[in-house]
A and B are shown apart, each in its own frame.
Chain A
């Protein structure tokens, strides 16, 4: 009989902090610059250059730590992690081993209605490495140091997760918390949030952990779920065959849906950590902590409750709207422009969600402005355009963030409220569709729908539907 196994998962999550400059120098962190245009002697490891810590990195790391119930290390330091790799020009990474800035945190997740706390072992600050691009023409590697020195925090969880669903709920919770803090945009596909999965298998009821592997290169929630499932099965197969799992780092290939060993811990690097002599200790006073505490934003749970109470939204809607900071921001910004909260919610919940799904986009990819959504709602409120036209215009707003007022004006999309014009069109429709007219008169109520449709078509969708109905009934 097959044994019952339990999956034990811990996560190492790297998050790029949204600061303007790098962690130890005044170079820009802007994404997408030409190679090596955001570099200086410090972030390229020139001898004699000296790092100076960006205070905002500490502020953001503390804010994340407080939001995840961590104890802040009020006397913390940086250490050097030594290794040779061409993406790391100093031959060491400045990181924190002995006194990480945050310790002993926890976040609550919910999976299928069950709540659970996931422990956070520590959060430390460190610097990102450069980027290597393979050059096929010269069969060499080209190094771009623009990312070198970009501030990161690494959030190390306890091995508290037992399934892919719990892992995703945990990542989602972290992402949401950090986005709400404005500490990072946390985009997995762009690498501003990266998760390494440590996974082991043990028999249900066993006390000891099994040997774990570390999985890298996971660029989406879906890839994470697939990689966990795949690695779980791979390890169970090994155990069932009476063999031993090898402790190693594996790289996930999501297109081929399998992983391969990168390096095993047997020839693991000896990082020879030691305190960085170029950086002085960071003493975080109680006042500093209080100051950051006072500036913490409203988080999702509080926002969700407020949306229900203040705007009378159903729980479901409040849940979706607060599900990403982006949606919550647009919602609040649009309301601030005097738009009715329920109507704003409706545009976001129905049309926005529909288009996002159609285009396989995330809410974070939304580029339209609150200003133009508010204008659209005003146009519908004043019945200047009908709902069919409004949906069309909204698609334009979603795509190009157009100004709906001038767009409607330019394209002549204003609702026709002119009774004379409507009446003559409807008379024509009635004359052209004797069968439907007869059906209606014989008691087929539905036939009027067809006639309304024909009228709207003749008016290119711009007729006031209320008036069309009224005039039709009158003429029939």
Chain B
């Protein structure tokens, strides 16, 4: 499967990435390779096989509804590029 220029532009928009013409060419090649690799699966007959989302046969992993975390705001905000009044400060965002 070939990745077209349109696809790269569209994926770029979705990922909010601005790619230079060289980067676009490289990304096109990389993505084509990846799809070809995964495309091998299409050679298999999967008739009647349930789709799976996990490779482990584990299910029903739960927590009880008990508060275990306290106020750790200072540590949490230590990761923020910018902060103000106990909140993360980001560029003005419209609804």
Q: Which residues of A contact B59 (CB under 8 A)?
A: 280-283
With A38-B71, A86-B90, A141-B90: A26-B60 Cβ-Cβ less than 8 Å: no
Q: Is the CB of A138 within 8 A of B89?
A: yes
Contact A27 B67 (CB under 8 A): yes
B interface: dominant SS: loop
Asked if A52 contacts B63 (CB within 8 A), the reply is: yes
Q: How far is the CA of A1 from the CA of B59 in the complex (A)?
A: 62
Report yes or no: B62 in contact with A55, Cβ–Cβ below 8 A.
Answer: yes
B95 CB-CB contact with A under 8 Å? yes
Alpha-carbon gap, A114 to B72, bound state (A) = 54
A52 touches B62 (CB 8 A): yes
B63 touches A142 (CB 8 A): no
Once A277-B54, A280-B56 are accepted as A-B contacts, the answer to whether A54 and B65 lie under 8 Å apart by CB is yes
- A112 located at the interface, meaning its Cβ lies under 8 Å from any Cβ of chain B in the complex: no
Q: Is the CB of A140 within 8 A of B60?
A: no
User: Is residue B93 contacting chain A, with contact meaning CB distance below 8 A?
Assistant: yes
Among the stretches A28-36, A191-199, A455-463, the one at the interface with B is: A28-36
- A281 vs B54: C-alpha distance when bound (angstroms): 8
- Chain B residues near A281 (CB, 8 Å)? 53-54, 59-60
B87 nearest CB neighbor, chain A only: A142
Contact, CB under 8 Å: A25 / B84: no
The answer, yes or no, to whether B16 is at the interface (CB within 8 Å) is yes
Q: Which residue of B lies closest to A26 (CB)?
A: B68
- Flag if B62 contacts A53 (CB, 8 Å): yes
Q: Could you tell me how many residues of chain A have their Cβ less than 8 Å away from some Cβ of chain B? A: 54
Q: A270–B54 contact, CB under 8 A?
A: no
What is the CA–CA distance of A52 and B92 in the complex, to the nearest angstrom? Answer: 32
Q: Is A341 an interface residue (CB 8 A)?
A: no
Select one of A21, A41, A77 contacting B65, CB under 8 A. A21
Q: Which residue from chain B places its CB closest to the CB of A28 in the assembled complex?
A: B67
Q: Determine the chain A residues whose CB is within 8 A of the CB of B58 once the complex forms.
A: 280
Please determine whether B86 and A36 come into contact, CB atoms closer than 8 angstroms: yes
Given A21-B67, A36-B73, A251-B95, decide whether A142 and B56 contact each other with a Cβ distance below 8 A.
no
Q: Is A56 an interface residue (CB 8 A)?
A: yes
User: Is the beta-carbon distance between B79 and A77 smaller than 8 angstroms?
Assistant: no
Neighbouring A residues of B84 by C-beta, 8 Å? 135, 138, 140, 142
Q: Is B21 among interface residues, defined by CB-CB distance under 8 A? A: no
- Given known contacts A21-B66, A34-B86, A142-B85, A39 and B73 CB-to-CB distance under 8 angstroms: yes
Interface residues in A127-141 (C-beta closer than 8 Å to B): 132-135, 138-141
Least CB separation from A85: chain B residue: B93
B14 at the interface (CB under 8 A from A): yes
Q: Taking each of B53, B71, B77, B92, which has the highest tally of chain A beta carbons within 10 Å of its own beta carbon? A: B53
Q: Complex: how many Å from CA A251 to CA B93?
A: 16
Say which residue of B62, B67, B72, B92 sits within 8 Å of A140 (CB atoms). B92
Q: Is the CB of A26 within 8 A of B95?
A: no
Q: How far is B84's CA from A143's CA once the two chains are assembled, in angstroms?
A: 9
A412–B76 Cα gap in the complex (Å)? 57
- Tell whether B91 is near chain A: CB-to-CB under 8 Å: yes
Contacting A143 at CB < 8 Å: which of B66, B90, B95? B90
Residue-by-residue, is A252-278 near B (CB-CB < 8 Å gives 1, otherwise 0)?
A: 000000000010000000101001110
Within the assembled complex, what's the spacing in Å between the Cα atoms of A282 and B53?
Answer: 12
Of A27, A44, A86, which one neighbours B93 at CB under 8 angstroms?
A: A86
- Judging by beta carbons under 8 Å apart, are A133 and B61 in contact? no
What residues of A have a CB within 8 angstroms of the CB of B68 in the complex?
A: 21, 26
In the complex, the chain B residue whose C-beta lies closest to that of A141 is B93
**Interface residues, chain B, CB within 8 Å of chain A?**
10, 14, 16, 53-54, 56, 58-69, 71-73, 76-77, 79, 82, 84-93, 95
Q: List 9 A-B pairs, Cβ < 8 Å.
A: A21-B66, A37-B71, A54-B65, A56-B65, A139-B92, A144-B87, A280-B56, A281-B60, A282-B60
17 further interface pairs, Cβ-Cβ under 8 Å (given A35-B73, A283-B60):
A25-B69, A27-B67, A36-B88, A44-B76, A84-B16, A134-B92, A138-B89, A140-B89, A140-B91, A140-B92, A141-B93, A142-B87, A144-B86, A270-B14, A279-B61, A280-B60, A281-B60
